[in-house]
Amino acid sequence: MRSPKDFFGPLAVGAPAPVREVPARPSRMIHFFDPSNEKMAAKVPGMVGTVDVLLGNLEDAVKADRKEAARQGLVDIAKATDFGDSTQLWTRVNSLDSPWVLDDLITLVTEIGDKLDVIMVPKVQGPEDIHYVDRILAQLEARAGLTRPILVHAILETARGMANVEAIAGASPRMQGISLGPADLAADRRMKTTRVGGGHPGYLVRQDPATDLGEGVDPVTAERTTYQQDLWHYTIARMVDACAMHGIFPYYGPFGDIKDVVACEDQFRNAFLLGCVGTWSLHPVQVDIAKRVFSPSAEDVAHARRVKEAMGDGTGAVMLDGKMEDDASLKQCLVILELAERLSANDPELADLYAVDAPAAEGEGS
- 250-268 pLDDT, tens digit each: 999 999 999 999 999 999 9
Is 52 annotated to bind ligand?
no
Select from 248, 274, 294 the last residue of a domain. Answer: 294
Is the pLDDT confidence value at 346 over 90? no
CA dist., res. 176 & res. 85, Å (int): 18
Model confidence, pTM = 0.91
Mean pLDDT of the region 45-57: 96
Residue 366's pLDDT is: 34
Residue 6's pLDDT is: 87
pLDDT in tens, 213-242: 777 788 888 888 999 989 999 999 999 999
Average pLDDT, the chain: 92
Is the pLDDT confidence value at 288 over 60? yes
Query: Which domain covers residue 350, as residue numbers?
Result: 296-356
Same domain, 281 and 156: yes
Contact 243, 276 (CB under 8 A): no
Does 98 fall in a domain? Answer: yes
Does 220 fall in a domain? Answer: no
Residue 358's pLDDT is: 40
Residue with the larger pLDDT of the pair 360 and 125: 125
Is 160 annotated to bind ligand?
no
Read off the pLDDT band of 362 (50, 70, 90). very low
Helix (H, G, I), strand (E, B) or coil at 154: strand
Dihedrals phi, psi of 319, to nearest 5 degrees: -105, 130
CA dist., res. 117 & res. 138, Å (int): 14
Read off the pLDDT band of 355 (50, 70, 90). confident
Same domain, 323 and 260: no
Same domain, 305 and 283: no
CA dist., res. 13 & res. 11, Å (int): 7
Is the pLDDT confidence value at 357 over 80? no
Same domain, 337 and 240: no
Chain centre to alpha carbon of residue 30: 7
Tell me what percent of the residues of the chain surpass a pLDDT of 90. 79
Same domain, 243 and 258: yes
Same domain, 302 and 338: yes
Residue 356's pLDDT is: 46
Residue 122's pLDDT is: 98
**Beta carbons within 10 angstroms of residue 229's beta carbon:** 13
Same domain, 270 and 348: no
Mean pLDDT of the region 57-83: 96
Residue 3's pLDDT is: 83
Q: Which of 71-85, 202-216, 332-346 has the lowest mean pLDDT?
A: 202-216
Same domain, 38 and 152: yes
Dihedrals phi, psi of 175, to nearest 5 degrees: -60, 120
Select from 246, 277, 294 the last residue of a domain. Answer: 294
Residue 182's pLDDT is: 94
Is 97 annotated to bind ligand?
no
How many domains, in total, are found in the chain?
A: 2
Is the pLDDT confidence value at 361 over 50? no
pLDDT in tens, 157-171: 999 999 999 999 999
Mean pLDDT of the region 272-278: 97
Does 341 fall in a domain? Answer: yes
Does 73 fall in a domain? Answer: yes
Q: What share of the chain is helix, strand, coil (3-state, %, to 5)?
A: 45, 15, 40
Residue 4's pLDDT is: 81
Does 204 fall in a domain? Answer: no
Does 39 fall in a domain? Answer: yes
Does 29 fall in a domain? Answer: yes
DSSP 121-139: ESS--SHHHHHHHHHHHHH
Residue 136's pLDDT is: 98
Q: Which CATH number do you get for residue 85?
A: 3.20.20.60
Is the pLDDT confidence value at 116 over 60? yes
**Beta carbons within 10 angstroms of residue 20's beta carbon:** 9
Same domain, 192 and 260: yes
Mean pLDDT of the region 274-289: 96
Does 212 fall in a domain? Answer: no
